Structure 1
Amino acid sequence: MTATRYELLPIAGMQEAARDLPHGAMVTVTCSPRHGLERTLEASEWLVGMGVRVVPHLAARLVRDRAHLEQLLRRLAAVGIEDAFVVGGDAERPVGAYPHGRALLEAMTGLELRPARLGVPAYPEGHHRIEATALQRDLEAKAALADYAVTQLCFEATPLLAWRERQQRLGLPLPFHAGIPGVMEPRRLLAIALRLGLGPSVRALRRQSGWLARLLRPSSYCPDALLEGLGPGLGDPAAGFAGLHVFTFNRVAATRGWLEARQDLMPERPARDEANPHLITSAGEPLA
């Protein structure tokens, strides 16, 4: 089965939402300037106790110095967390020595405490604060320091696939996970997309037949068309996407139900371990 990651927000209601996760699921935990790294680590430690595989976000702009970094990594190692997602973070100013994700990745290079796997973000639809050329240059620099990448939240398969094809032509070696929305109320989803500056995706949603009418209905949005478009390339780290990264916004129950009902769109194929590309796991899941 195609590998799937569920993203959770460490806010009120997260623990209740987490109880709807599949046992042994891969779960990422976000980090915000408002709640800080401590909230992310506390949530991650609690989730480990729930029996899921946890990937905390490490926001570079919230890390003070090398001593603070090593303290964070020791906490992850103490509970057996071997995977972390390195982002620059949304803090207006860095609190210390790491102004962006690449600086934090470089600081972890060669450290004994470095997690076995590190992920980085990718922006197929651009970033509202960073120019496209700089984004690509940054991703190529991170490719030598990280083990995989996860795309931003996307709503349309065509530009996502075109971007993936471009990375392949450029020879970028990272396995990519496609970032897709979970199941939620359309109004809430649109508000989130606008806040994140996802202009191209929002325009794509509005172009879809009946989008505005659906927006006014009480029914939930399900990204069926997106999953159908991505389907043929899912589970193929070399040419497509290693798996899905689902932005649940803590709407886990509905999202899990939708995913389980759409297994027909996710091909059964052996998945390569991202840290060891030539290793195939017997269950078709990447080794943790």
Structure 2
Amino acid sequence: MNDLLRLTPLPSDERACEALASPRYELLPLADLQQAADALPAGAVVTVTCSPRHGLARTLTASETLAAAGFRVVPHLAARLVRDRGHLAEAVARMTALGIDECFVVGGDAEAAEGDFATGLALLEALAELPTRPSRIGIPAYPEGHPHISVGDLQRDLEAKARFADYAVTQLCFEAAPLLAWREQQRQRGMSLPVHAGLPGVLPRKRLLGLATRLGLGPSTRVLGRQKGLIARLLRPARYRPDTLLEALWPHLGDATQGFAGVHLYTFNQAADTRAWCEAQCRRQCAWKTSDSLSVTP
């Protein structure tokens, strides 16, 4: 049946459309940051990563640039890169001066802490004591586990962090099954924290495989190289698109209680292609929802 002739959408469709229409875009504070930002919708939510190589200062400088351009900026604060409470207070004050009132707290990829904070939880506890604490704080979640942390420790860590957080974002995943299984497990454990589903953006498969290996991502990365035969390789698109993943998650999007409150797109600065994909999906999935006059029976 033609999408334009579908019935008026169910509430779950409405929620999913709203979630897809306003995703979070993650950018890396690299040389092509400005080019990536120029490709995004005006006023979009943009998160900025923080790496051991470039440090917290690079993240905050990039956040200044993006805030000045009118984006809703969410800097990552990597615990292992924050020296002490004074350094943390300076970072928060700098954010406040820019009108940034949200941050995303991670432990960080540095092998050793530069100062007093070895874990994301320790930084969250310190943030809670600041008089200028950001009004919204996000934390990461790992449905497919973490290469250096046991499943049990991850769960205890998530539950401890949830007391200080307003939402969680799942680590990059390429299949719906582990995401949905993990979300149901959290629901059964009574976790009420809203969760945003972390989806890969549109990227060359070869580059995405390299990133997945370097970042230690979970077993769902097998979908990137599943087709082995010559004909399969010739027919398979050179660029990865998360169409199948989105389709499987669609009934669960926009449901902050039992599903996923929103969509977080890991762009790796391929923002133009990722935005184009997202908007094309919106047109395909949601264009018909505003045409109430097309409420015909199939």
Is TM (by shorter chain) over 0.5? Answer: yes
Compared CA separation, residues 109 and 211, structure 1 to 2 (3 A): farther
SS in 2 for 1:92: coil
* 1:169 equivalent in alignment to 2:195: no
Q: Distance in 2 between matches of 1:185 and 1:133?
A: 34
> Which residue pairs with 1:153 in the alignment?
172
Matched, 1:45 2:64: yes
Find the counterpart in structure 1 of residue 113 from structure 2. Answer: 94
Deviations for 1:198-247, whole angstroms, at most 9, x for unmatched residues? 24112244446979944896632111000001111111111100111100
1:115 to 116, 130, 134: 134
Aligned position for 1:143: 162
Q: Percent identity?
A: 62
Q: What residue in structure 2 maps to residue 12 of structure 1?
A: 31
CA distance in 1: counterparts of 2:230 and 2:198, whole angstroms: 21
- Secondary structure of the 2:172 match is coil
SS at structure 2 position matched to 1:255:
helix
More helix by share: 2
Q: Which has the larger radius of gyration?
A: 2
Q: Is the 8 A contact 1:227 1:265 kept in 2?
A: no
1:128 equivalent in structure 2: 147
Q: Structure 1: which 5+ runs fail to align?
A: 270-288
1: distance between equivalents of 2:42 and 2:214?
A: 32
Could you tell me whether the CA contact under 8 Å between 1:186 and 1:215 is conserved in 2? no
Between the aligned partners of 2:187 and 2:280, the Cα distance in structure 1 is: 31
- Greater Cα shift, 94-103 or 213-222: 213-222
Cα displacement (A) at 1:196: 1.4
User: Match for residue 221 of structure 1?
Assistant: 240
Using CA pairs under 8 Å that are at least 6 residues apart, name the structure with larger relative contact order, 1 or 2: 2
1:183 alignment partner, one of 202, 206, 231: 202
Tell whether 2:47 aligns with 1:28: yes
Question: How has the CA–CA distance of structure 1 residues 236 and 215 changed in structure 2, closer, same or farther, with 3 Å as cutoff?
Answer: farther
**Which residue in the other structure is 1:254 paired with?**
273
Specify the code of the residue in structure 2 equivalent to 1:241.
F
Greater shift in the superposed pair: 216-225 or 124-133:
216-225
Please report how far the alpha carbon of residue 168 of structure 1 lies from its aligned counterpart in structure 2 after TM superposition.
0.5
Provide the alpha-carbon RMSD of the alignment: 2.1
**Do the aligned residues in 1 keep the contact of 2:173 with 2:221 (CA within 8 Å)?**
no
Cα offsets for 1:14-33 (capped at 9, x unmatched): 11110001001000000000
In 2: Cα distance, 1:124 partner to 1:266 partner = 28
Is the Cα–Cα contact under 8 Å of residues 150 and 178 in structure 1 kept in the other structure?
Answer: yes
Residue 195 of structure 1 deviates from its aligned partner by: 1.2
Per the alignment, in what secondary structure is the counterpart of residue 99 of structure 1?
Answer: coil
State the alpha-carbon separation in 1 of the partners of residues 171 and 286 from structure 2: 20
Opposite residue 89 of structure 2, the aligned amino acid is E
The DSSP-based 3-state class of the residue aligned with 2:132 is: coil
Q: Specify the code of the residue in structure 2 equivalent to 1:186.
A: R
